[in-house]
Amino acid sequence: MERTGHFVRWRWIVFWTLLVGYVAYYLCRVNLSASSELVMRELGIDREAFGLVSAASTWAYAVGKFSHGFLADRYGGRAMFLLGIFGAAVFSGACGVFGSLGALVTLWSLNRFAQAGGWVGTVQVAAQWYRRDEVGTAMSMISLSYLVGDVAGRGLAATLVAQGGGLSTVFLVPASITLVLALVSVFTLKASPSRIGEPELNVAEAGEARDERGFGWADLRALLSSRGFGVLCILSVLLTAIRLAFQDWSAAYFTHLGVDLAGSMWDSAIFPTAGAVATILAGVVSDRVHAGQRAPICMMLLGILACGLVAFAVVDDMTPTTARWLMGVCGFGLLGPYSLLGGAGSIDVGGRRAAAVAAGLVDGIGYLLGPLFGSLGVASLIQRVGWQAAFTALSAAAGVSVIAAWFFLKATRRPAR
């Protein structure tokens, strides 16, 4: 199909709306984990109590993933994306007003439930705008949003704390920025090409055997019976658990090594920064080298992750400098596969009919089970046994993920044409 200049311009506008909008989501997400030491100090709670806040809110996020994925495919990704970003601004900002553990658990869980609409909405909208041979690259670029957002959110929190800000500032400033970007998104996010007077993708461009627009329950049954979908869910649990561990505890780890509070927040941003490089690499290589196969590059990167985690586990006299290098290695190894499988991988197994449902279920299962290990389990290991025991457990999970990626390759390999 011939692409008009009008189509290309609007696709770029939609692309940047999704990317910048999802950065805003993360401003209202990582501020809690980045300021974990400040939260524990001001509320007078220990690591296990903080792990409970993280786990409870993550489970709320998982529940939202299940429901919002269906709603996005039924009613459109644009609506879910906008509801999520406005909800993030409201509930995250409210955390800065009510300063108790109970209020934090409740409001942060509502924040995460609202935010569950963001990624499924993004996937559903992207599936309408990009061909099958473009979607891996497009989703890897859009996935930079959560990595940029992670770095920006941690940097913003660190700057606010360094300038003397307390918990209320850490919550209210990101919420205000997100609210402004939410209002802009109302005007710049278009659900599909037809909304600007352009034709939709045809069956061949979408890489489908038939017209797959319009979600139906038969599509859900087909999705649930797919081997590729099942393995993708296993990978989601493993990679989400590892990612949650780094997201929740990397700043605390640098504090443990003697880095000051603001410095530890900045150091924790190394993980997503390194992951941004791998995210682009994974998407481009899977599209251009492996013809849409996501597993080969994921297996290689997950092997790198396993090596980095083993190093964390076996080095006895860890220094902040060594930890920074290993943090970069682990971010590079984890976040490329995590982004690729959760975005393009979900579109691959779900098609246009069930792209958001697939993304919601894959992410939902990951966020439902991942906190048991990545948030609560790791918190308990750190507090009761020590940091090296936690890294040993995480390295074992990374090793299993390499095997799971091999099974995903077997389940999704398409015959050569």
294-305 CB burial, b ≥16 within 10 A, e <16: bbbbbbbbbbbb
**Cα separation of 265 and 198, whole Å?**
45
Q: How many Å apart are CA 243 and CA 290, to the nearest integer? A: 26
Q: So what's the pLDDT on residue 2?
A: 66
By the 8 A CB rule, do 375 and 51 touch?
yes
Res 211: pLDDT: 47
CB–CB of 347/358 below 8 Å? Answer: yes
| Contact (Cβ atoms closer than 8 angstroms) between residue 50 and residue 380 | no
Mean pLDDT per block of 10 residues along the chain (417 residues) reads 83 96 94 83 81 85 85 87 96 85 90 92 88 78 84 88 85 95 96 88 52 59 79 91 89 90 85 86 77 80 95 92 95 88 73 73 84 83 90 95 88 58
What ranges make up the beta strands (E) of 288-363? Answer: none
Contact indicator for 381, 390 with CB cutoff of 8 Å: yes
Q: Quick one: pLDDT at residue 181?
A: 97
CA distance 328 to 320: 12
Dihedral sign of CA atoms 320, 322, 325, 330 in order: negative
Contact 99, 168 (CB under 8 A): yes
Greatest alpha-carbon span in the chain? 62
Contact 363, 65 (CB under 8 A): yes
Which structure tokens are listed for 369? 């089970």
C-alpha–C-alpha distance, residues 235 and 390, integer Å: 19
> Taking the domain 5-192+215-412, which CATH number applies?
1.20.1250.20
Angle in degrees, 0-180, between the axes of helices 320-342 and 227-256, rounded to the nearest 10: 160
**158 by DSSP, 3-state: which?**
helix
DSSP H helix total and E strand total for the chain: 17, 0
Structure token digits, residue 19 = 């990317």
